[in-house]
Amino acid sequence: MQFAEGHKRVFLLVTYHVIMTSNKDNLTSNKKVFEKFFVDLKHDHGKDTWSAVCTVCRNDPSLPEKSISDKKTGYSNFKRHMLRNHLKIYNDWLASVQVKVESSQSKIDDKITGGKPVYGQSHPRQIQLDQAIVQDLIIDLGLPPSMVERDSFIRFMKKVDPKYSVVSRRSISRQYMPELYDKMILNLKSICNEARWVSLTLDTWTDRPFKELNEIHNGSLLLFELNSVISTFSLDSKLVRLVTDSASNNLTTFRGFVVPGFESCFVPDDVDDDTANDFEDDSGFDVEASSDDDSDETDELCVKDGLKKTGVSTKNALEKCSAITKLSHQSTHFAERLERINVLIPSPNKTRWNSQYDTLCKIVSMPTERLNQILKDFGKPELCLSGKDISILNEFVDVLAFFSEATVQAQAENSPSIRLVAPSLLSIYFDLVKQKEDCQHLSSPVEVLLISVKCRSGALLEVLSIPVEKSVKKNKRFYELYKDNIFLISSFLDSKFEPNWVLASPLSTENKISICENVKKLVSDAALSLHSKASVQKKQSSQQREASTNTSGATGNLKRKSIFGYMENNEKKQKTSIAISSNDIAEEILLYLKEDGTDSSLIFKKSSLYPMLSSLATKTLCVPSASTPVERVFPQSGFLIRPHRARMTR
């Protein structure tokens, strides 16, 4: 009880001291206002008051000069005058005074933080650095969120800004990440809402630490997820095509797809040379073999069929190239010798045949004599390339040149790749026909390549007046896909191709004319159909609006008659009766074919001149010819979802 009474006395003493100090400070503040803004002090001893003139009123011609009075030793009336008549001037002065006081006066926060003030949670600088850590370091650079708990990172941030308090891991995972995720979904929905047409690519990738799909990837589950995406982003009326791989499992399709002779390049073994280093993949994660759909996958499968028929001599030459490539990435001395002649052999990717093709091209382009001399100096004479080896390799590179270029073009980013399918297929076919006659060492693989192209893409070849023998076994997964008119329409709508790719081919003149007329008709019919559907949709929406208007009128808003009502009805009829005929589209096509430019985006730049064709191009060219853009996401996902980020749930 004594402790409580003593505590009470101390509390009352402190309270009394605070109140007295507050009154004293208030008096001092009023006195400072008086000293700052008032002059000509006069005393009235009879009334025991004093008065003074406001300097602000005196210096302003628009205001009458005022003399303010107050009881002697009192200053409240002077301050009241400033608050009522010159509030802005008073606040500006008060702010400057407070800054001076705060800079010299110690605060309780300084005692708690050791004299080093910190930003509050709502301070702009605190928020800026929080967002930078999450966006730049954790998301863009892929660093684990746990780094914010490490002493070294905390010390680093204190050097960056001593007032900054490092954001907690809990805030990152429960606040910033969900907010960014929701923001991303909203942005994606906004993009989908603004888009007129959309194509979707369906592919799956699952890693054990990160399983969104907890069931087997069967058709019903994938269909459910696809419908969920379409519903979430309101894509029902905008979906043009669904692009997907042709196999139920990507790895099954391309397992073991390696250029013959290059198998040893992907088998790690030690080199006897002391300066050699073990060649390993430094990507940090395994990249599974993957298959692309439509034209891209068709090209790769055709190449795979042709490579199976390579002879012994061809395989021996390819094995030498494989060994040379592997040696250049294992032996430091060998790599340095190649650098002296400005040669760097790229490392091939086991799951991308065209990367192995690029490696072959690099070796073939090297000076053979200098390469063989370097190999002899390193005690590898068995790897020297003979004249026959060079001849075989040159044929090999020449045969697959168009396949490689088509694969690279189809995998390009920010490019309407669907337009490349028909021109690429026609060029590949006639090139193989020519190679079949010219090749000395690879006639058998070329024959197999021709048959493979026909059995997979024969439907499009038949449309291009190229007969497909009855003996060719048609591949059901691919053959029917190439009957789609989108391949011909999309190439026509790109001014880089138009019908020129047909006219420049070795086809007969009669067939060229027939194909060009057929393509024009396909484009005209597609444009007319698109316009008709758009007109129907507009009509339905207008009817819905009228129905809603009539419903609202029935509730009490009576529509009044108008003396010129017939004019309003005629205007509505004229607006809704505008029709587009095939002749209008034919005129656009004729004018479009007279364009001299080869810019792929010409039809969009001149959309006002070609309104119907540009609308058709918007719908057609949004379709990708391969699932490569989605495939690029998988390696990035493998980088993000790794053991360092095992606690991530989204």
Tens digit of pLDDT for each residue in 403-449? 888 888 877 777 788 888 899 899 999 999 998 888 888 888 888 88
Kindly state whether residues 78 and 149 are assigned to the same domain.
no
**Percent of the chain clearing pLDDT 90 (strictly above):** 13
562 assigned to some structural domain: no
Residues 6+ apart with CB under 8 A from 519: 488, 489, 492, 499, 502
Of 513, 488, 490, nearest to 503 by C-alpha is 513
Mean pLDDT for 69-92 is: 83
Kindly state whether residues 99 and 122 are assigned to the same domain.
no
Residue 54's H or E segment, with its range, is strand 49-54
> What's the token pair of residue 377?
């100096």
Kindly state whether residues 172 and 306 are assigned to the same domain.
no
For residues 297 and 109, give the distance between their C-alpha atoms in angstroms, rounded to a whole number: 66
In total, how many domains does the chain have? 3
Model pLDDT, residue 446: 86
Residues 6+ apart with CB under 8 A from 21: none
Confidence of residue 218 (pLDDT cuts 50, 70, 90): low
For residues 219 and 504, give the distance between their C-alpha atoms in angstroms, rounded to a whole number: 43
Model pLDDT, residue 580: 63
Torsion of CA 421, 426, 432, 434, to 10 degrees: -150
Q: Which residue has the higher pLDDT, 575 or 646?
A: 646
Kindly state whether residues 92 and 53 are assigned to the same domain.
yes
Kindly state whether residues 100 and 144 are assigned to the same domain.
no
Mean pLDDT for 115-139 is: 87
Model pLDDT, residue 23: 43
Model pLDDT, residue 161: 92
Asked which of 442, 477, 512 is the last residue of a domain, the reply is: 477
Q: Between helices 387-399 and 401-410, what is the axis angle to 10°? A: 40
Q: Is residue 171 a contact partner of residue 197, using CB atoms and an 8 Å limit?
A: no
Confidence of residue 116 (pLDDT cuts 50, 70, 90): low
Mean pLDDT for 218-230 is: 80
CB atoms under 10 Å from CB of 3, counted, come to 7
374 assigned to some structural domain: yes
Model pLDDT, residue 573: 46
Q: Which residue has the higher pLDDT, 351 or 446?
A: 446
Taking 90 as the threshold, does the pLDDT of residue 128 lie above it? yes
Mean pLDDT for 230-255 is: 66
Taking 60 as the threshold, does the pLDDT of residue 310 lie above it? yes
405 to each of 108, 401, 420, 433, how far by Cα in Å? 71, 6, 11, 18
Of 356, 317, 353, nearest to 441 by C-alpha is 317
Highest mean pLDDT of the ranges 372-376, 444-448, 450-454: 372-376
Kindly state whether residues 385 and 442 are assigned to the same domain.
yes
User: Greatest CA separation found in the chain?
Assistant: 130
Taking 60 as the threshold, does the pLDDT of residue 209 lie above it? no
Kindly state whether residues 302 and 409 are assigned to the same domain.
yes
588 assigned to some structural domain: no
572 assigned to some structural domain: no
The secondary structure of residue 148, as a DSSP letter, is G
Asked which of 426, 456, 477 is the last residue of a domain, the reply is: 477
Model pLDDT, residue 318: 86
Taking 70 as the threshold, does the pLDDT of residue 532 lie above it? yes
State residue 200 phi and psi, 5-degree precision.
Answer: -110, 145
Asked which of 419, 450, 477 is the last residue of a domain, the reply is: 477
Kindly state whether residues 339 and 423 are assigned to the same domain.
yes
Average pLDDT score, the chain: 75
Of 451, 446, 445, nearest to 471 by C-alpha is 451
Residue 96's H or E segment, with its range, is helix 87-104
State residue 228 phi and psi, 5-degree precision.
Answer: -65, -40
Model pLDDT, residue 126: 93
Model pLDDT, residue 295: 55
Model pLDDT, residue 152: 93
Model pLDDT, residue 69: 85
Model pLDDT, residue 449: 86
Q: Which residue has the higher pLDDT, 414 or 236?
A: 236
Model pLDDT, residue 549: 55
Chain-centroid distance, C-alpha 488:
29
Taking 90 as the threshold, does the pLDDT of residue 648 lie above it? no
Q: Which residue has the higher pLDDT, 477 or 206?
A: 477
Model pLDDT, residue 474: 81
Mean pLDDT for 634-640 is: 65
In sign, the C-alpha dihedral spanning 327, 329, 332, 337 is positive
239 assigned to some structural domain: no
Taking 60 as the threshold, does the pLDDT of residue 647 lie above it? no
Q: Which residue has the higher pLDDT, 644 or 38?
A: 38
Mean pLDDT for 513-533 is: 89
Taking 80 as the threshold, does the pLDDT of residue 513 lie above it? yes
Mean pLDDT for 368-381 is: 90
> What's the token pair of residue 82?
């400033």
486 assigned to some structural domain: no
Mean pLDDT for 170-192 is: 90
Model pLDDT, residue 205: 65
Mean pLDDT for 255-267 is: 45
Confidence of residue 281 (pLDDT cuts 50, 70, 90): very low
The residue segments making up the domain with residue 94 are 2-105
Model pLDDT, residue 300: 58
593 assigned to some structural domain: no
For residues 135 and 142, give the distance between their C-alpha atoms in angstroms, rounded to a whole number: 9
Torsion of CA 421, 427, 430, 431, to 10 degrees: -120
Looking up tokens 């590179």 gives 397
Kindly state whether residues 339 and 284 are assigned to the same domain.
yes
Kindly state whether residues 370 and 256 are assigned to the same domain.
yes
- CA end-to-end distance (rounded Å), the chain: 58
Least confident of 35-49, 193-207, 287-301, 384-398: 287-301
Taking 80 as the threshold, does the pLDDT of residue 10 lie above it? no
Kindly state whether residues 441 and 293 are assigned to the same domain.
yes
Query: How would you classify the pairing of strands 239-244 and 198-202?
Result: parallel
Kindly state whether residues 37 and 66 are assigned to the same domain.
yes
Q: Which residue has the higher pLDDT, 627 or 513?
A: 513
Long-range contacts from 360-369, C-beta under 8 angstroms, 24+ separation: 360/259, 360/318, 360/321, 360/393, 360/396, 360/397, 361/397, 363/321, 363/324, 363/325, 363/393, 364/390, 364/393, 364/394, 364/397, 366/341, 367/341
Q: Is residue 515 a contact partner of residue 504, using CB atoms and an 8 Å limit?
A: no
Model pLDDT, residue 266: 45
- Angle at the Cα of 575 (from 574 to 578), degrees rounded to 5? 80
457 assigned to some structural domain: yes
Mean pLDDT for 179-191 is: 91
